[in-house]
């Protein structure tokens, strides 16, 4: 056997085993939608035509928009939400601004601050034209651009005046080792009519339930024998091989010439 080929194969097996072991230890990441509560008083229906509602998925994350209201902050106002989100891997905020005239471009107008159970905090600035833009992109003379990769458009529809309206999502990444206990949104702008519009929040946490590990007899590609589809499949090719293979029974046809013409009387 070629020693080089054997070495590569062994490394591949070790790597695959390590990945399977890691997947069995790591839990599943899941969203924990946060209702904005009584602090949200601006109806989304007063901004958009057929706005997202209920428990809905935007940008690949689940949000609780059941109340149908957003929070609007102006001229130094702030809002805080408290809870306990262990092993948080990210916070996702539906954020836009209103009256975002062009002269605000590249201006820091607020921040999002996360506090943790160990007393530390993490703050993200909100910059017009960077990670924050006008919600009514069909309006004139407003800053309608987001250039920060952490901000993305997750819904595009129609504003109540018939122009284009959008909802954007700001992603704040976390390392999954701390417990988030508070999230505050602060408007630090003190002049003009600009407002920050906060429509939804979800926090991604790690479920401690370990991922299922396939058995050593799994022959399905990707070790996916324990998926619901595989478990309910009737296809024999995905079933584990039996420990002992049964010997097939063969019946030989009789040969009428076997007795060389002699007959028993």
**What string of H, E and C letters represents the secondary structure of 24-63?**
HHCEEEEEEEECCHHHCCEEHHHCEECCCCEEEEECCEEE
Per-residue CA distances from 41 to 38, 67, 95, 199, 246 (Å): 7, 9, 15, 10, 72
Task: Write down the pLDDT at residue 105.
Answer: 98
Give the domain ranges of the chain: 26-210
Task: Write down the pLDDT at residue 16.
Answer: 36
Helix (H, G, I), strand (E, B) or coil at 141: coil
Rounded Cα distance, 46 and 261, in Å? 103
Strand partners, 92: 171, 202
Which tokens is 253 given? Answer: 């046809």
Task: Write down the pLDDT at residue 55.
Answer: 98
Task: Write down the pLDDT at residue 208.
Answer: 64
Closest by Cα among 175, 170, 164, 144 to 58: 170
φ, ψ for residue 86 (rounded to 5)? Answer: -75, 145
Rounded Cα distance, 159 and 166, in Å? 8
φ, ψ for residue 24 (rounded to 5)? Answer: -80, -25
For the chain, give me the number of helices (H) and strands (E)? 2, 14
Per-residue pLDDT reduced to its tens digit, 178-194:
999 999 999 999 999 99
Task: Write down the pLDDT at residue 148.
Answer: 98
Helix (H, G, I), strand (E, B) or coil at 160: coil
Q: Which residues, given as ranges, of the chain have pLDDT below 50?
A: 1-26, 237-238, 241-265
The three-point CA angle 168-173-175 to 5° equals 165
**CATH code for the structural domain at 26-210:** 2.60.120
Task: Write down the pLDDT at residue 100.
Answer: 98
């Amino acid at each position: 056997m070629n020693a080089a080929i054997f070495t590569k194969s062994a490394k591949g097996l070790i790597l695959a085993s390590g990945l399977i072991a890691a997947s069995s230890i790591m839990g599943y990441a899941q969203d924990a939608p946060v209702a904005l509560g009584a602090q949200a008083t601006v109806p989304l229906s007063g901004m958009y035509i057929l706005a997202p509602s209920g428990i809905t998925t935007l940008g690949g994350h689940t949000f609780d928009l059941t109340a149908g209201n957003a929070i609007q902050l102006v001229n130094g106002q702030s809002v805080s939400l408290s809870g306990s989100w262990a092993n948080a891997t990210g916070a996702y905020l539906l954020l836009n601004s209103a009256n975002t005239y062009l002269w605000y471009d590249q201006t820091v107008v607020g921040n999002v601050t996360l506090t943790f159970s160990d007393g530390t905090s993490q703050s993200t600035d909100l910059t017009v034209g960077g990670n924050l833009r006008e919600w009514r992109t069909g309006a004139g003379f407003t800053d309608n651009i987001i250039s920060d990769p952490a901000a993305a458009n997750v819904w595009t529809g129609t504003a109540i005046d018939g122009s284009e309206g959008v909802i954007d999502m700001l992603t704040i990444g976390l390392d999954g080792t701390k417990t988030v206990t508070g999230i505050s949104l602060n408007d630090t702008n003190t002049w003009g009519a600009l407002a920050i519009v906060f429509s939804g929040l979800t926090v991604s946490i790690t479920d401690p339930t370990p991922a299922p590990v396939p058995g050593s007899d799994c022959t399905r590609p990707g070790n996916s024998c324990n998926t619901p589809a595989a478990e309910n499949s009737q296809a024999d090719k995905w079933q584990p091989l039996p420990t002992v293979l049964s010997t097939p029974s063969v019946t030989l046809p009789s040969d009428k010439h076997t007795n060389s013409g002699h007959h028993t009387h």
